Amino acid sequence: MGESRIPTVSDLGELELLARIRARMREPTPNETWAGDDTAILGWSDDKILLTTDMIVEGIDFDLSYASGEDVGWKALAINASDIASMGGRPAHAVAAVGLRPETSVAFVDDFVDGLLAACDAYGVALVGGDVSAASEITATVAMVGAAIGRPLERSGAAAGDAICVTGSLGGAAAGLVALRRRMGDDVPAVARLKRRHLRPPARVAEAAALVSLAPTAMIDVSDGLAVDLGNLIQASDVGCEVDAGAVPIDPDIRALGDVDPLEIAVLGGEDFELLFTIDPRRTEDAAAALRATGTPVVRIGTVVESGGRLGDRSLEDWRSRGWQHLRSR
């Protein structure tokens, strides 16, 4: 009788593993060369390209006791697409470097690649190459290039008097992490949605493309939490902010957890990957109209002021000091 143990990465070896991954990849567009040579060759016609990289690490950014390979692949890709979107860019091409424990199952790797490619399909990205290495923990590092649709939207352009707006809702991803850590089931739909919000974060690519023509003065994605990212935006712009706590779009599903403060988790929770932007206040209605086709709402939460930063009855610094930093929190 043949052995029935699950095949692992070390059973396959690097070359077979790469061939297996390559076989799952999309066919390159004509005139381009993707994986299979030393680098990918990309057709390009714009004057500005956007380039970013983000790394996620097992035990820090994901936990395999509740995240699947597909979840990890999706997240690795989506967080980079979100960075391109938040610059007012169109994500275009990505490469992925993956560290794998030798005992990692091949099925996990297949799932991981499927998740990467599902996010690529969702956001119009071509995965064009990558690298794999043995490692003692699973890591996924994506680098992505994108084209600026118009003028790139830096975080430094906010001016006093601008409206502060945010897409979608906040706090759901952090609440989903709480639900996952509590091993809550999927029988309550709101809890299931929160968990998915953490495991499959969206990148607001279509939303960013719709906003560019309205010339936001600054834009950033909410990855480290509203308090931290808004703080980064006003610091880069050398301005202040006044945010109405009552206007913060708290994810309504958070109430299903019962024992967390919805505003606190919406302001401090990270990884919602919503777009936070500043814009001429006469254009906030236009922004909402522009996003209608995407199904994603947008709300004004406050105003850029000359200096100081307040969110509700607390200073932004007070809020920020409650946020977390990856290296410290481990």
Rg (CA), the chain: 21
Please, what is the minimum distance in Å from the beta carbon of residue 291 to a second copy? 19
Alpha carbons 85 and 256: distance in angstroms, whole number: 30
- Residue 13 binding a second copy, by CB under 8 A: yes
- The angle formed by the CA atoms of residues 120, 123 and 127, to the nearest 5 degrees, is 25
Given candidates 29, 33, 213, 307, which one binds a second copy under the rule CB under 8 A?
A: 33
One-letter identity of residue 33: T
Site string for a second copy, 159-198 (x = CB under 8 A): ----------------------------------------
- Residue 143 binding a second copy, by CB under 8 A: yes
For the CA atoms of 227, 233, 237, 239, the dihedral, rounded to the nearest 10 degrees, stands at -20
Show Cβ contacts of residue 272 under 8 Å, excluding neighbours closer than 6 positions: 168, 169, 170, 171, 172, 173, 174, 197, 201, 222, 223, 251
Q: Which of residues 236-255 bind a second copy (CB under 8 A)?
A: 236
Q: Which is nearer to a second copy, 40 or 265 (CB)?
A: 40
Given candidates 7, 26, 131, 189, which one binds a second copy under the rule CB under 8 A?
A: 131
Alpha carbons 68 and 62: distance in angstroms, whole number: 9
Q: Which is nearer to a second copy, 35 or 118 (CB)?
A: 35
Given candidates 38, 187, 259, 313, which one binds a second copy under the rule CB under 8 A?
A: 38
Q: Which of residues 53-72 bind a second copy (CB under 8 A)?
A: 53-57, 59-61
- Residue 84 binding a second copy, by CB under 8 A: yes
CB 307 within 8 A of CB 244: no
Alpha carbons 207 and 187: distance in angstroms, whole number: 31
Given the rule CB under 8 A, which of 34-42, 113-121, 189-197, 290-298 is the region that contacts a second copy?
Answer: 34-42
Given the rule CB under 8 A, which of 12-20, 62-70, 161-169, 173-181 is the region that contacts a second copy?
Answer: 12-20
Q: Which is nearer to a second copy, 5 or 183 (CB)?
A: 5
CB 83 within 8 A of CB 219: no
Please, what is the minimum distance in Å from the beta carbon of residue 125 to a second copy? 12
Alpha carbons 257 and 261: distance in angstroms, whole number: 9
Please, what is the minimum distance in Å from the beta carbon of residue 102 to a second copy? 6
- Residue 139 binding a second copy, by CB under 8 A: yes
Show Cβ contacts of residue 159 under 8 Å, excluding neighbours closer than 6 positions: 217, 237, 239, 278, 304
Q: Which of residues 191-230 bind a second copy (CB under 8 A)?
A: 220-221
